[in-house]
Structure 1
Amino acid sequence: MDVPDLLDRAATMVAANAADEAGARVAEVREYLQHHEWEIALDLLADLDEWPAGAEWWDLLAEAADLMRLSDTAAWCRWRHWESIHGIIRAELTLVPAADGGRRTPIPGQGVLRPLWHIGQYMPEGHPDLRVARIWVESAPELAPGATGPIRLAPMAPVAWRGLRPAQTITMHEGTPVRGTATITEVSGPR
C-alpha cells in the first residue's frame, strides 16, 4: 500500500467523534489527505489518543511514517503499538543531579535507554528484585541530568509490573546507585 491508502485505511478505523487535544477530527484528516498533506494527516491521526487504537492501527501509521522517512514518528507509532498490546505506564521522573552521583548525560527520549527499576518487589534473600524497562521521554527529545519530566515505560516483562498504581514511587538504577525516582501517574491495561 502507498501512504494515502495506509492513512485512509487508518482514518476509516477511527470513530467519527474521536478528536485530538486541539479538537481535530477525522473529517480534517480526510481534508488533508485530499490535498496530499500526508504528514499533517499522519500527525493528526497519531494524536488521537482518546479512542481505543489497536496494534493494527498503529502498524498502519508506522508503515506510512516509514514510507515518508519520518523515523521519529515511526518510532512513536511502534511504541504505541507496544502499549496497545501491553498497556501504558506513565510517570514523572526526577533524575539525581550529576553532582550528587547521578547521570552525567541526558536520557535519550525515544525508548533507547533500558535501565533497571525497583518497583517494590524483593528477592527471597531480601534484596530488591530489579526489573528492566525502556524509557520514552514525553514532550522532549531528552531528559537532562538532574531534571524532572514525564516519561512512559515499556517493561521487558510487562506482567511483573501489573501491580503498579498511580502515586506509587519507583526508583531507577544504572548499577548500584539510584539514578532517579519516578512517581507513577497512569497505569492502564491493553486496549
Structure 2
Amino acid sequence: MDASRDAAIASAVLEVLGRAGYAGLTMDAVALAAGVGKATIYRRWSSKAELLLSVLDVVGAPVLEVPDTGGRRDDLVTVLSEVVTLVGGPSGRALRSLLGAVVDDPALQEGCCRLPLANWDAAWSAVLARAVARGEVPAGAGESVAAEVGPAVLVLRWLVTGRPLDGTVVPELVDRVVLPLLRCR
C-alpha cells in the first residue's frame, strides 16, 4: 500500500464530511475527492466508521491553547473565543456533521469524545483549575454544572439554533453568565 495516499485520503475524509455530512461520507465520495480508486480505500478500511476513526486518530483534533492572561475573565474569554474560531472553520464543519451521527453509533461517540471534545474540555478545565488556584473562583467550581454553561451555550448556538457566534457572544457569555454562576458556586 502506498502510504503517500493516506494524507490525501485523510484530507478528503474531512472535506467530504464537512461538505456532505456523515450521511454523505461514502467510500465513493472520499475516493473521488482523494483522487484514488475505491479499492485503495477498501484495502485499508472496511467501513466508513473505521475510516473516519482512523483519520481522527491520525489527524487528531485541533488543540486549544490554554491561555494564561493572568486573570480568570480574560482566560475564559480567550479559550471560548478559540472554540468559536475552530467551530467556524473547516474542522468545525466536519465535527458538526459528525456529532449528529455519534448519538446512534457508540464507536463514533467514543472516537469523538476521545479527540476533539476531550481536547476542548481539557483546555476549559485547565483555565478553571488555574482560576481556583489563584483564588478567583471557589474550590470545586471547575467540577460544577456552572462550569459547563459557557461551552454548552456555544454548542447550542453552533449545533442547534444556528444563531451567530461572533466576537460579541463570548464576552457577554462570560460576563453575564459564566462568571456570576462560578462566583455563586
Same fold (TM over 0.5): no
Higher strand share: 1
Q: TM-score, structure 2 length as denominator?
A: 0.33
Q: TM-score, structure 1 length as denominator?
A: 0.33
Higher helix share: 2
